[in-house]
């Protein structure tokens, strides 16, 4: 995917064109959303939405979250309304929210069921690009009468990206395979990040290039395909807490690829790498440290 940050002579992507795009998106996407006054009781149905609410100073508005919301620490004590794809709609109703915020993917699945109960909803995009994340922050900020706070949060994201780009612009990009799931004990059922996605954008900013060209956020890939792609670096998100040496044992099957031969297989556990919120800055810095340890201190585990 061609992104604004790849074009010389332009700022990362916070340009007049992007501003116009965001405003146009907001005008179109807010057509079905209207409240007489800003909501004060919010149910968040995605960890990234919870994080954005925290980022704009609306943490105290949240009355319910999904079981996957784990940041900031305070949300762990909030009432839970089920999972990402199968929330407990009755539990949501009992919380008497002024507004239920969800992703556009969730809206397609169960948004109408929630609205049929008379609840107001707001849906945001975020998975396909960093520009989508910025639009989501703007949209939530407008809905909560916190546009100034949203603007400040966006400025922090832009500054964080610019800081990293200044350090990586003259580095040779590393060819990256980003693994988001597999059988912990084998190299079976491997799922990787494709394009377009905000993670792909993060890899690019961090001084890398995603070796997977396929469209999709979670693409199943074979060991043979990985050998053909021959990544310089493999970065794997460790959801299970499996010990590092177990990951090393599994990847040692692919000695043909550069990442394994050169000891460039890493496991990371931070949710900042997978949540489309302002925490992408933390995720980008983690990626940068892993991809270019010659310039940045490495915090990940070399497996």
pLDDT of residue 278: 97
Domains 4-161 and 170-302 share a fold: yes
pLDDT of residue 87: 95
pLDDT of residue 23: 45
Q: SS in 3 state form for 155-192?
A: HHHHHHHHHHHHHHCCCCCEEEEEEEECCCCCCCCEEE
Measure the CA–CA gap between 216 and 192, rounded to whole angstroms. Answer: 9
For residues 182 and 246, the answer to whether their CB atoms sit within 8 Å is no
Measure the CA–CA gap between 294 and 303, rounded to whole angstroms. Answer: 18
Q: In the chain, where are the structural domains located?
A: 4-161, 170-302
Going edge to edge, which strands form the sheet with 99-103? Answer: 62-64, 42-44, 99-103, 121-124
pLDDT of residue 88: 96
Q: What superfamily would CATH give domain 170-302?
A: Nitrogenase molybdenum iron protein domain (3.40.50.1980)
pLDDT of residue 270: 87
pLDDT of residue 242: 64
Ranges of residues in the chain with a pLDDT under 50 are 1-34, 299-300, 302-303
Within 10 angstroms of residue 228's Cβ, the number of other Cβ atoms is 11
Measure the CA–CA gap between 263 and 252, rounded to whole angstroms. Answer: 10
pLDDT of residue 199: 95
pLDDT of residue 79: 97
pLDDT of residue 241: 64
Q: What superfamily would CATH give domain 4-161?
A: Nitrogenase molybdenum iron protein domain (3.40.50.1980)
pLDDT of residue 15: 39
Q: Spell out a b/e string for 234-268, using b for 16 or more CB atoms within 10 Å of the CB, else e.
A: bbbbbeeeeeeeebbebbeebeebebbeeebbbbb
């Amino acid at each position: 995917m061609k992104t604004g940050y790849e074009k010389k002579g332009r700022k990362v992507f916070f340009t007049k064109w992007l501003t116009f795009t965001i405003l146009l998106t907001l005008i179109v996407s807010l057509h079905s959303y209207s409240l007489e006054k800003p909501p004060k009781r919010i149910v968040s149905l995605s960890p990234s939405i919870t994080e954005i609410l925290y980022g704009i100073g609306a943490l105290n508005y949240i009355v319910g979250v999904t079981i996957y919301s784990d940041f900031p620490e305070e949300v762990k004590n909030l009432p839970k309304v089920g999972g990402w794809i199968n929330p407990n709609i009755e539990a949501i109703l009992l919380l008497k929210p002024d507004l239920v915020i969800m992703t556009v993917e969730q809206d397609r699945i169960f948004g109408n069921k929630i609205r049929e109960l008379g609840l107001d909803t707001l849906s945001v995009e975020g998975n396909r690009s960093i520009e989508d994340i910025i639009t989501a922050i703007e949209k939530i900020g407008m809905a909560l009468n916190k546009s100034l706070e949203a603007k400040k949060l966006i400025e922090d994201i832009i500054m964080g990206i610019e800081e990293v780009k200044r350090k990586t612009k003259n580095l040779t990009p590393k060819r990256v395979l980003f693994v988001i799931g597999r059988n912990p004990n084998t190299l079976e059922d491997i799922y990787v990040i494709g394009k377009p996605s905000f993670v792909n954008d993060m890899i690019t900013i961090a001084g890398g290039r995603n070796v997977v060209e396929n469209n999709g956020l979670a693409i199943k890939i074979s060991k043979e395909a990985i050998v053909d792609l021959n990544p310089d670096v493999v970065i794997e998100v460790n959801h299970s807490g499996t010990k590092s040496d177990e990951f090393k044992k599994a990847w040692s099957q692919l000695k043909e690829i550069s990442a394994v031969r050169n000891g460039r297989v890493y496991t990371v556990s931070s949710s900042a790498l997978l949540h489309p919120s302002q925490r992408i800055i933390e995720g980008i810095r983690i990626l940068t440290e892993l991809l270019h340890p010659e310039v940045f201190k490495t915090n990940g585990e070399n497996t």
